[in-house]
Amino acid sequence: MQFKKAHFVTGAPSLDVCPEAYYPEVCLAGRSNVGKSSLINAMVNHKGLARTSNTPGKTQQMNYYLVDDKTYLVDLPGFGYAKVSKKERERWGRDIRDYLLERPTLRLVIHLVDIRHKPSKLDEEFFYWLGTNRLPFIVVLTKGDKISHNKCQQSKARVKRILDEMNIEVPIIISSVKDDVGIDEVKELISEFTQ
Ligand code: GDP
């Protein structure tokens, strides 16, 4: 499937300054450098739309992109970034929690985890928190091109075990923006959840 056009709308540091809650929206969460911007760019087939870089923590606000004049994709600030102060991290947690719990148009959370790494404690806490609050979410395991097919499957099974233990059943998708793997599947789920 195709997302035909997309543009950057605004960056919002907190819920009260988000754009009017009008279009259904899907947000991307995960630690800094996990590949959120790259996934957005790959889905809309526009390399420079969301900024990508090797500098973790560059985005400290929620970046809104409007896709095909009908869906907002929201790039959330990466969590667990060590270089910001504890106070800032706490404020981040509150702002994002407010957004996730109170945004009336939010339809889906995409939680990204680097396929090479075991989900961190923060990732696991986030899975549990999303499950407890009954927020619809999917897990995308990024950078699938960086390890073998077998290792990818092992990593997926590990995430599934963690979610099973929490009694959470959600799609787990392996992606690679380099090899164009999983991108269509994520887009299909986005359109399903935002219809
Ligand atoms: P963000 O901080 O979550 O927005 O992460 P970025 O999208 O900026 O990606 C961080 C780094 O990982 C960049 O150098 C990307 O080129 C790289 N990256 C992201 N996705 C992939 C992928 O699927 N395969 C490979 N090989 N590199 C990726």
Q: Is residue 101 part of a domain?
A: yes
Residue 102 has φ and ψ, to the nearest 5°, of -115, -5
As for how many domains the chain has, the answer is 1
Is the minimum distance from the CB of 178 to ligand 1 under 6 angstroms?
Answer: yes
User: Which domain, by its residues, includes 121?
Assistant: 6-194
Taking Cα atoms as reference points, which of 84, 79, 102, 92 lies closest to residue 18? 102
CA distance 160 to 141: 11
Say how many Å lie between the CA of residue 54 and the centre of ligand 1. Answer: 8
Q: How far apart are CA 182 and CA 144, in angstroms?
A: 9
Domain assignment of residue 145, yes or no: yes
pLDDT score for 81: 57
Most ligand 1 atoms within 8 A of CB, residue of 32, 33, 39, 112 to mutate:
33
With contact defined as beta carbons under 8 Å apart, do 25 and 106 qualify?
yes
Q: Check pocket membership of 47 for ligand 1, CB cut-off 6 A.
A: no
Is residue 1 domain-resident?
Answer: no
Q: Which atom of ligand 1 is nearest to the CA of 38?
A: 7
Which residues of the chain fall short of a pLDDT of 50? 56-58
Q: What is the pLDDT of residue 2?
A: 82
C-alpha span between 119 and 116 (Å, rounded): 9
- Supply the pLDDT for residue 57: 47
pLDDT number for residue 78: 81
3 state SS of 83: coil
- Domain annotation covers residue 78: yes
Say if 18 falls within a structural domain.
yes
pLDDT for 182: 98
Kindly write down the DSSP assignment for every residue of 11-61, as one continuous string: EESSGGGSPPS-S-EEEEE-BTTSSHHHHHHHHHT-TTSS---SSTT---S
* Atom number of ligand 1 nearest to Cα 34: 3
Report the CATH number that the domain containing residue 147 is assigned in CATH.
3.40.50.300
* Any atom of ligand 1 within 6 Å of the Cβ of 185: no
Question: How much is the ipTM here?
Answer: 0.99
pTM of the predicted model as reported, rounded to 2 decimal places: 0.94
